[in-house]
Amino acid sequence: MTDLEKWQAASAKEVKGKDLDWHTPEGIVVKSLYTAEDANVDPGLPGFAPFTRGVRASMYAGRPWTIRQYAGFSTAEESNAFYRRNLAAGQKGLSVAFDLATHRGYDSDHSRVVGDVGKAGVAIDSVEDMKILFDGIPLDKMSVSMTMNGAVIPILAFFIVAGEEQGVDRKLLDGTIQNDILKEFMVRNTYIYPPEPSMRIISDIFGYTSREMPKFNSISISGYHMQEAGATQVQELAFTIADGMEYVKYGVASGLDIDKFAGRLSFFFAIGMNFFMEVAKLRAARVLWHRVMTNLGAQDERSKMLRTHCQTSGVSLTEQDPYNNVIRTTIEAMAAMLGGTQSLHTNALDEAIALPTDFSARIARNTQIVIQEETGMCNVVDPLGGSYYIESLTQELVDKAWEIIERVEAEGGMAKAVAAGWPKAMIEEAAAARQARVDRAEDVIVGVNKYRLAEEDRIETLEVDNAKVREGQVARIAAVKASRDESACRAALDALREGAKGQGNLLALAVDAARARATLGEISQAMEDVFGRHATVPTPVKGVYAAPYKEDKRWRQVLDGVQAVEHRLGRKPKLLVAKMGQDGHDRGANIISSAFGDMGFDVVAGPLFQTPEETVVLALDSGVDVVGASSLAAGHKTLIPELIRLLKDKGRGDIKVIAGGVIPPQDYDFLRDAGVQGIYGPGSNVVECAADVLRLLGHNMPPLEDAA
Same fold, 28-440 and 553-697: no
**Helix or strand holding residue 344 (H, E):** strand 343-345
Over range 423-446, report the average pLDDT.
92
Q: Is 436 left (phi over 0), alpha (psi -120 to 50) or beta?
A: alpha
Q: Is 585 a catalytic residue?
A: yes
Q: Is the pLDDT of residue 73 over 70?
A: no
Q: Give the residues across from 271 on adjacent strands.
A: 312
Domain boundaries, the chain: 28-440, 553-697
- Of the pLDDT bands very low, low, confident and very high (cuts 50, 70, 90), residue 707 is very low
Task: List the Cα angle 144/147/150 in 5-degree steps.
Answer: 135
Neighbouring C-beta atoms of residue 435, cutoff 10 Å: 23
Angstrom distance (rounded) from CA 349 to CA 353: 9
Q: Give the residues across from 68 on adjacent strands.
A: 93, 345
DSSP 580: B
Of 431, 272, 306, nearest to 50 (Cα)? 306
- Of the pLDDT bands very low, low, confident and very high (cuts 50, 70, 90), residue 384 is very high
Residue of 345, 585, 637, 656 with catalytic role: 585
Q: Is 379 exposed, middle or buried (0-12, 13-18, 19+ CB in 10 A)?
A: exposed
Q: Which fold has domain 28-440?
A: TIM Barrel (3.20.20)
Angstrom distance (rounded) from CA 683 to CA 661: 9
Residues 102, 130 contacting (CB under 8 angstroms): no
The pLDDT tens digits of the residues spanning 11-62 come to 888 888 788 889 999 889 999 999 998 988 889 999 999 999 999 999 999 9
The pLDDT tens digits of the residues spanning 148-162 come to 999 999 999 999 999
Q: Which fold has domain 553-697?
A: Rossmann fold (3.40.50)
| Percent of the chain surpassing pLDDT 90 | 69
Q: 71-80, 330-339, 572-581: which range is least confident on average?
A: 71-80
Residues 671, 640 contacting (CB under 8 angstroms): yes
Over range 376-397, report the average pLDDT.
96
Question: What separation, in Å, do the N-terminal and C-terminal C-alpha atoms of the chain show?
Answer: 47
Distances (CA, A) of 448 to 321, 510, 553: 8, 48, 21
Over range 458-467, report the average pLDDT.
76
Q: 300-309, 350-359, 368-377: which range is least confident on average?
A: 350-359
Residue of 125, 439, 512, 583 with catalytic role: 583
Neighbouring C-beta atoms of residue 561, cutoff 10 Å: 24
Residues 605, 539 contacting (CB under 8 angstroms): yes
Angstrom distance (rounded) from CA 295 to CA 284: 17
* DSSP alpha helix (H) spans, 213-357: 224-228, 233-253, 258-261, 275-295, 324-339
Q: Give the dihedral sign, CA 372/377/380/382.
A: negative
Which stretches does DSSP call E strand in 104-250? Answer: 144-146, 175-177, 216-217, 219-222
The pLDDT tens digits of the residues spanning 612-621 come to 999 999 999 9
Over range 331-350, report the average pLDDT.
95
The pLDDT tens digits of the residues spanning 136-187 come to 998 888 888 898 999 999 999 999 999 999 999 999 999 989 999 999 999 8
Q: Please give the distance of CA 523 from its chain centroid, rounded to a whole number.
A: 25
Of 185, 223, 193, 219, nearest to 205 (Cα)? 219
Length of the chain: 708
Over range 663-676, report the average pLDDT.
90
Residue of 224, 389, 545, 549 with catalytic role: 224
Q: Is 125 a catalytic residue?
A: no
DSSP 263: G
Of 25, 58, 116, nearest to 632 (Cα)? 116
Residue of 400, 534, 579, 636 with catalytic role: 579
Q: Is 70 a catalytic residue?
A: yes
Q: Look at residue 264 in the predicted model and tell me its pLDDT.
A: 86
Of 187, 197, 134, 196, nearest to 160 (Cα)? 134
- Of the pLDDT bands very low, low, confident and very high (cuts 50, 70, 90), residue 708 is very low
Distances (CA, A) of 77 to 96, 132, 136, 283, 406: 13, 6, 11, 40, 48
Residues 106, 112 contacting (CB under 8 angstroms): yes
Q: Is the pLDDT of residue 449 over 80?
A: yes
Q: SS in 3 state form for 594-632?
A: HHHHHCCCEEEECCCCECHHHHHHHHHHHCCCEEEEEEC
Q: Look at residue 604 in the predicted model and tell me its pLDDT.
A: 95
Residues 517, 484 contacting (CB under 8 angstroms): yes
Q: Is 90 left (phi over 0), alpha (psi -120 to 50) or beta?
A: left
Neighbouring C-beta atoms of residue 17, cutoff 10 Å: 9
The pTM of this model reads 0.90
Q: Please give the distance of CA 173 from its chain centroid, rounded to a whole number.
A: 26
Over range 316-322, report the average pLDDT.
91
Residues 139, 163 contacting (CB under 8 angstroms): yes
Which stretches does DSSP call E strand in 487-646? Answer: 574-578, 602-605, 626-631
DSSP 382: S
**Helix or strand holding residue 541 (H, E):** none
Q: Look at residue 706 in the predicted model and tell me its pLDDT.
A: 52
Residue of 110, 119, 183, 225 with catalytic role: 225
Angstrom distance (rounded) from CA 242 to CA 289: 9
Angstrom distance (rounded) from CA 107 to CA 475: 12
- Of the pLDDT bands very low, low, confident and very high (cuts 50, 70, 90), residue 209 is very high
The pLDDT tens digits of the residues spanning 296-318 come to 999 999 999 999 999 999 999 99
Q: Give the residues across from 66 on adjacent strands.
A: 343
Of 524, 44, 66, 509, nearest to 266 (Cα)? 66
Q: Is 23 a catalytic residue?
A: no
